[in-house]
Amino acid sequence: MVTISRRLSLLIFFIAGFAFIGIGVASIIDSNIPRFVEITQKINPNQSEIFTPDMNTGNIANIYMNGSRSTILVEDPNNNLILNKTNVEGFFNETITSEVNGKYKIQVVNNGNEIAELDLGAFSKASPIAFSGQMMLIITGIVVLGLGIRTRMQS
């Protein structure tokens, strides 16, 4: 059986606790930096897709479409219509630059009889759901630190 001194166990608990907290904080900071995300999607006839990238001012979204007759709508976070292209047939390529921070709404509706191929590239931040995982890391770090302090107090 291996015995660990209280001093060594305190050190292990502190290192582990600070590691959890550090990773959680670094992840929160990284989540607020937009990353370029590419999506390739095939849209069946009479179907639509909605994409909501969370962009900062100056970020871009590239919309490339090929195939069936389609409608493409883009709204900014204030629900102002930025782009409204109806009855688009063949190739479509548009680059949109965000002027306001927030979630943009890109809707593509396939009005035709063939499959439409969509390639979308946009800068987007992490989902708010990721915040719960980051908070769990920080809370776990605090609990581990508490266990380390408790171990120290028992000596």
Write out pLDDT tens, residues 80-104. Answer: 999 999 888 888 999 999 999 999 9
Contact in structure between 73 and 81 (CB atoms under 8 Å)? yes
Higher pLDDT pick, 4 / 36: 36
CA gap 73, 87 in Å, rounded: 12
Question: The tokens of 1 are what?
Answer: 């059986």
* Nearest C-alpha neighbor of 84 from the set 70, 73, 76, 94: 73
Residues 6+ apart with CB under 8 A from 111: 46, 68, 69, 70, 71, 87
CA gap 21, 24 in Å, rounded: 5
Q: Which whole number is the average pLDDT over 11-30? A: 93
Q: Which whole number is the average pLDDT over 1-14? A: 83
Question: How many Cβ atoms sit within 10 Å of the Cβ of residue 123?
Answer: 19
Q: Strand, helix or coil at 10?
A: helix
